[in-house]
Structure 1
Amino acid sequence: MLSKVVEENDDATVQQLLNRVDELKAEINKQGGRESTNEQGELAELRRKIREFQEQAEAESIKDVDITGATIIRSQLSGLAQVQFDTVIIDEASQIPVPLGILGMVNAKKWVVVGDHNQLQPVLKTIKTKSGSPPANASLFSFLRNRYDIERWLEYHYRSHEDIIGFAKSHIYDDRITVADLCPRGVDWDPEVDDMPAASAVAEGPPVTFVDVNGEQTWRQRYGAAVNDDEVEVVGSIVQAL
């Protein structure tokens, strides 16, 4: 963290600046905020110098490490913006709009863009489509994937029960996913749950359960999305049962 870098900085000038700022703040508090114009200007100048040292400390520190992690916005602030990296890896790129993604790309000549065009897309409130979904090339991932034939498919799934990923594997990914051997398989449960309340059936049932909710979906302009109040009640009861 940048604050820790600055606090542990042995540079005497930085420490003098920080001490002087503390002294001025203490004096200002004593005066009840009625500081003079000179003191205001001095404090502003000290803050400006501190920001410069912070940016320099951050840039120099980053040059000595193998991997740096940051949000995309943060990559263009302070010392990070001064560093040219060998490679930028952008994760969850299917949720990132193209302009925002470019911010993460400008500090390197090589990029690895990781994402899944079948999962969540960017939220673009300024673009309206008939389906309510964003355009096909809205995300950085989809834009590059559709423009260049250079994708690499990560085919092995390591996270969840075979039945859970199995639905997505069959219905979304055209069986291109291979479930790793370390994933759990099978389940012991009583299929005679016809008379059992839905919440209990889900809590005690198999890894994947579909609950039929006989409720009407309505469009809420305020949310810009569909809402089903009956589904909300069912989800609440299931969560309580779990």
Structure 2
Amino acid sequence: MNVGILGTGNMGKIIIEALIESGAISPSNLNITNRTLNKAREVQLQYEKVNLLDTNKDVIQNSDIIFICVKPHDIYGILQENRALFSRDKCLVSITSPISVEQLQTVVDCSCARAIPSITNRALSGVSLLTFGESCSEKWRQTISDLLNKISRPVEIEEKITRVSSDIVSCGPAFFSYLTQRFINAAVKETEINNETATILASEMLIGLGDLLKKEIYTLPTLQEKVCVKGGITGVGISAMEKELGNVFEELIKATHDKYKKDREETQSQFGL
């Protein structure tokens, strides 16, 4: 099976690296291109046997499954320009949340799916979010699930929870990296610890926390109960967080959904759906 990647930006490159390094696909079975070919050439320098092709048309023609990893407003034009090349035996996979599989199906006749990745997939970990179109054959559903299972835990979701699921899975690492950096900065500012030491401690704490959850030793609520002794230091810290954080996460969800709504309106004007 030949896999095509249209777009080698941040997420496109992460998918390429994860699929190759997990052994899910061989570099020689991977066809890539990018609007700026030099960016795709950087990937080929990393994996010499990857096939760097000149155009989207070349990648689509020579691939069985095509991951489209470009900005949402660019997808419609690419599909319209190459719609005849998406024959029924092929599969198109979009990685962007504002475009639904139903929209994809209005333009091309092949099997369609959406697979929203996470930067954590680069470590062959975390979740990838799957939504299949009605036109997606059982063969392709299984193939996509098997591919993504090599680099993540695939979770099938309904369209109505796409944005919030993506907030948690795809945006979440950036959100919690920001919070962790603020935690480190505050520790450095308010105490005598240096940035390097605080960063090591915080990073190892997060890794350990992940291991506790992965091994199902504790749930998030029980973990808090175990650490937060009544009248202790952790409890005082939690109280300070409750006071200062307020509705920050509610506002975060509102902000991402407002942006999602605007993006959806733009894609709806393109797809007519």
Q: Could you say which structure has the higher strand fraction?
A: 2
Larger Rg: 1
TM-score (norm 1): 0.29
Whose relative contact order is higher, 1 or 2, with alpha carbons under 8 Å and at least 6 apart? 2
* TM-score between both structures, scaled by the size of structure 2: 0.26
